[in-house]
């Protein structure tokens, strides 16, 4: 039998669960940090099993996240001694720490119940949250490191963050070991029988005939397929000429209901044609929100925040969404800072089970920040230069157009920079049936499919057309040998002059895969597409 690499050994250990008593040293071998795990989980109960260790680790993780959030709050009270970039990095960290506390508490509440078995869907939900916790912490680390090094060492931010990250990794590994379903993909889930349609076969009576007409002309146009119908609870109109309910998108979001449920239907915001110079932020409590515009380059949301101008990458975005089940259709989101301003995000998406359809994202470096959780993009356009699709979500792009454009002098283009930091995370970027084509301004700049931003970076291209702008090597190193063996980069049945794999990199992490392996990254398997996309009315392909 061939020897397993350390990574494969770890993954194999994560793939089975046991309820029998397990000593701490044995449990900790399932994690990336065995020594740290042994010192952090001093359980002396001889009857303790992997579930007991997992719950203990989660409780300790909640304590650590709460302590860090308090520390950041105190640090911000002394903001008069900090630079603006440092203050903004701390504000990001505080926000992310609060998200982590919520995710950890929700996880422990689910796992504290007497039963130890979870359905595959519930298991993936928890794995997704624990994956996002690591992503959030790493985002905080990255933001802090980008500020003054003397400030970070003086205030002791990075050391506790590094320990917290190890603890969260241990919690994820123990969850995967005890409750995980690593071999059960979402395609095998029992379908939910909830009817998708209008309330009582029509829109709610409180809607005016004008509102109903808007839904029928905008909502159904190019949105619904076959006999699907979208449940809509209410519609408001945003128009700059004052003819609608509001003149800004932010005003409309503010009056959207909080914590809606699927049965309530979507709160739809119809944004008429125009250029909206505003920074849109859709918070986590605005569930089931749908924004529909008049079309790409018709309804445009634009901003110009950038790292060069003092913003963090995380908070440079023109459009930010964290509300689960968000849907956007027929809009353009821009960041006009330009290549000279380096990182400047158009969209930052941390919304679980979110969907973008027929949208355009325009920027240069770091255009589309698929930050975390599970996301789907269909028939969208993405323009950019360096790492213009990046982040650590579990994300599928289908039938999208990716346009590398001209970067700054001396730079090269990388379409993706995926940020997976832990092999237990269920994250990665899948680009399926898409089209890669040079933007009109792209000259002879070398363009690559991606580069490994983090150690376990994972990106797959499937059945995608690649024009001659793609360099023959395909992939580009981040720094020296970093992550070349631990990343997972794969290609499957791509076409076009840039798809020739004969000169591709010879990294251990690069693979040419078959249909069986490629199917693991489809919308039905990699993200639970069959569970959340049908209710949006957006077309999608569940398989290859």
pLDDT of 320 reads: 98
Spell out the residues 6+ positions from residue 370 whose beta carbon is closer than 8 angstroms to its own: 349, 389, 390, 391, 392, 393, 395, 429
- Which CATH homologous superfamily contains domain 24-179? Invertase/pectin methylesterase inhibitor family protein (1.20.140.40)
478: phi then psi, degrees, rounded to nearest 5: -85, -55
Whether the pLDDT of residue 21 is over 70: the answer is no
Lowest mean pLDDT among 104-118, 124-138, 261-275: 104-118
Convert the pLDDT of each residue in 258-276 to its tens digit. 999 988 889 999 999 999 9
User: Is residue 527 pLDDT above 50, yes or no?
Assistant: yes
SS (H, E, C) 471-482: CCCCECCCCCCC
**Could you tell me the two tokens for 537?**
């009315």
Q: Please give the Cα distance from 399 to 433 (Å, whole number).
A: 5
Per-residue pLDDT tens digits for 368-389 = 999 999 999 999 999 999 999 9
Kindly report the backbone phi and psi dihedral angles of residue 377, in degrees, each rounded to the nearest multiple of 5, phi listed first: -130, 130
pLDDT digits (tens, 9 = 90+) for 398-453: 999 999 999 999 999 999 999 999 999 999 999 999 999 999 999 889 999 999 99
Identify whether 352 is a catalytic site residue: no
pLDDT over threshold 90, residue 502 = yes
pTM of the model: 0.90
Quick check: 335 and 368 in contact, CB under 8 A? no
pLDDT tens column, 315-368 = 999 999 999 999 999 999 999 999 999 999 999 999 999 999 999 999 999 999
The pLDDT of residue 197? 32
Report pLDDT digits (tens) over 179-220. Answer: 987 554 444 333 333 333 333 333 332 334 554 555 555 544
Residue reference for tokens 């909502």: 219
Model confidence at 392, pLDDT cuts 50, 70, 90, reads: very high
Between the CA atoms of 9, 10, 14 and 20, what dihedral angle is there, to the nearest 10 degrees? 80
Which member of 92, 352, 366, 387 is catalytic?
A: 387
Assigned fold of 372-535: Pectate Lyase C-like (2.160.20)
> What local confidence, expressed as pLDDT, does residue 148 receive?
67
Residue 443: its pLDDT value, please?
A: 87
Q: What is the share, in percent, of the chain residues with pLDDT greater than 90?
A: 74
Domain limits of the chain? Answer: 24-179, 372-535
| pLDDT given at position 218 | 52
């Amino acid at each position: 039998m061939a020897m397993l690499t350390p990574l494969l050994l770890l993954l194999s250990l994560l793939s089975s669960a046991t309820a029998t008593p397990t000593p701490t040293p044995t449990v900790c071998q399932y994690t990336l940090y065995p020594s740290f795990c042994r010192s952090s989980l001093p359980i002396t109960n001889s009857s303790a099993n992997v579930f007991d260790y997992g719950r203990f680790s989660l409780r300790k993780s909640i304590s650590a996240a709460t302590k860090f959030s308090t520390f950041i709050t105190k640090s911000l009270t002394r903001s008069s001694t900090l630079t603006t970039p440092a203050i903004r990095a701390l504000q990001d960290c505080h926000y992310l720490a609060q998200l982590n506390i919520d995710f950890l508490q929700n996880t422990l509440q689910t796992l504290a119940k007497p039963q130890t078995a979870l359905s595959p869907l519930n298991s993936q939900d928890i794995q997704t949250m624990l994956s996002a916790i690591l992503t959030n912490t790493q985002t905080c680390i990255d933001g802090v490191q980008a500020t003054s090094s003397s400030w970070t060492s003086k205030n002791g931010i990075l050391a506790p963050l590094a320990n917290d990250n190890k603890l969260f990794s241990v919690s994820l590994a123990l969850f995967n070991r005890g409750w995980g379903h690593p071999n059960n993909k979402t395609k095998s889930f029992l379908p939910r029988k909830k009817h998708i349609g209008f309330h009582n076969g029509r829109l709610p009576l409180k809607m005016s005939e004008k509102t109903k007409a808007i839904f029928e002309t905008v909502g159904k146009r190019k949105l619904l397929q076959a006999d699907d119908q979208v449940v809509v609870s209410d519609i408001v109109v945003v128009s700059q000429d004052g003819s609608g309910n509001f003149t800004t998108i932010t005003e409309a979001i503010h009056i959207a209901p909080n914590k809606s449920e699927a049965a309530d239907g979507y709160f739809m915001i119809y944004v008429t044609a125009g250029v909206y110079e505003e920074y849109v932020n859709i918070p986590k409590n605005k569930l089931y929100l749908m924004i529909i515009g008049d079309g790409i380059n018709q309804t445009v949301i634009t901003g110009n925040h950038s790292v060069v101008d003092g913003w963090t990458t995380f908070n440079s975005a023109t459009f930010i969404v964290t509300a689960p089940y968000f849907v956007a259709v027929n809009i353009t989101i821009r960041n006009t800072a330009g290549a000279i301003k380096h990182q400047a995000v158009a969209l930052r998406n941390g919304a679980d089970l979110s969907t973008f359809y027929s949208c355009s994202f325009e920027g240069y470096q770091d255009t589309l920040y698929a930050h975390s959780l599970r996301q789907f993009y269909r028939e969208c356009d993405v323009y950019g230069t360096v790492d213009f699709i990046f982040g650590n979500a579990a994300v599928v792009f289908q039938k999208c157009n990716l346009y590398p454009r001209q970067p700054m002098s001396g730079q090269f283009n990388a379409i993706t920079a995926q940020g997976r930091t832990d092999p237990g995370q269920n994250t990665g970027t899948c680009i399926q049936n898409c089209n890669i084509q040079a933007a009109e301004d792209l000259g002879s700049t070398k363009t690559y499919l991606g580069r490994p931003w983090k150690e376990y970076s994972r990106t797959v291209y499937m059945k995608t057309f690649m024009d001659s702008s793609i360099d023959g090597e395909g992939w580009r190193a981040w720094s020296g040998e970093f992550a070349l063996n631990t990343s997972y980069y794969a290609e499957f049945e791509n076409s076009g002059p840039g798809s020739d794999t004969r000169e591709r990199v010879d990294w251990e992490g690069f693979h040419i895969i078959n249909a069986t392996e490629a199917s693991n990254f489809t919308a039905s398997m990699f993200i639970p597409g069959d569970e959340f996309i049908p209710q949006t009315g957006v077309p999608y392909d569940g398989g290859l």
